[in-house]
Structure formats: structure tokens, C-alpha cells
Copies of this chain bind each other. A is one copy, B any other.
């Protein structure tokens, strides 16, 4: 049911400085950058095998990611696991007593359904679940 790491998300202070490592030095391709005003982040997407590295630069220090950066500094923020059926996965997690941040899947504009598992239930790791749109 869980079939790959979709992405590892990293909070950074500055996309350009981060790209100097991940793209220029390590050699990952940059597929796109995206402004997400809803979550107050700019995101750079760097494919790596069947996964991606996502770099998140907060654009508002009062946003969730902005406060995370101020408190914890730069570093890995969450890991996203792609599943076949997000509702079945969430039901199974709930049946095991796992705490979900979202009670029902949320939907991105392109159709990806997603939900977060609380780090309290996942070894201190913020885990995102993705079910990609089949459209």
C-alpha cells in the first residue's frame, strides 16, 4: 500500500543558498520552483530517482514553516510516503491508534490527496501521506 518516498522536504533560510549545494554541488536537476502563498513558502523541486528533494523557504516568519525555521533552524521537515489508497491507509493508521493531523484527506489543485501523521505517533517524524491523482 505504501510504495515509495514521494519526497523529503527540507526547510531552508534561502533557496539560492540551498540550491548552491543541492543543485550546483551535488548535481541534482531543478525541475521547477513554485510559490505557494497559501502555506507562505517558495518551493524548489529536485528529482532524485523516483523521489524528490523539496526545499521550502518560508516567505512569512509568522507562518507555520516560518516559525519552525525560527525555532529549529534549517533541516529536514517531513517525509512524504506515497500510498495507493489514502483513505484505507488513514483508517488503518487510526485503527492502530496513530494520531492524524488531518481527519480527512485534503486535496491539492492538481488532484493529489494528502494528510499528515502527527510526529507523536511516528517516531518524532512529521509524515505526509500522498495519493496521487490518477487523472
Residues of chain A whose beta carbon lies under 8 Å from any beta carbon of chain B: 1-5, 8, 10-12, 17-18, 20-22, 24-28, 48-51, 55, 73-76, 79, 81-82, 89, 92-93, 96-98, 119, 121-125, 127
Contact = CB atoms under 8 A, between A and B. Distances in A.
Given A5-B51, A76-B76, A12 B92 contact: no
24 contacts: A2-B27, A4-B50, A5-B5, A5-B8, A5-B48, A5-B51, A8-B79, A10-B124, A10-B125, A11-B124, A12-B124, A21-B122, A24-B96, A25-B92, A25-B97, A25-B98, A26-B93, A49-B50, A50-B50, A51-B51, A73-B124, A76-B76, A76-B79, A76-B124
B25 A76 contact: no
Q: Give the number of copies in the complex.
A: 2
A55 B122 CA distance: 11
Given A21-B98, A28-B2, A96-B24, A12 B123 contact: yes
Nearest to A97: B25
Contacts of A124: 10-12, 73-76
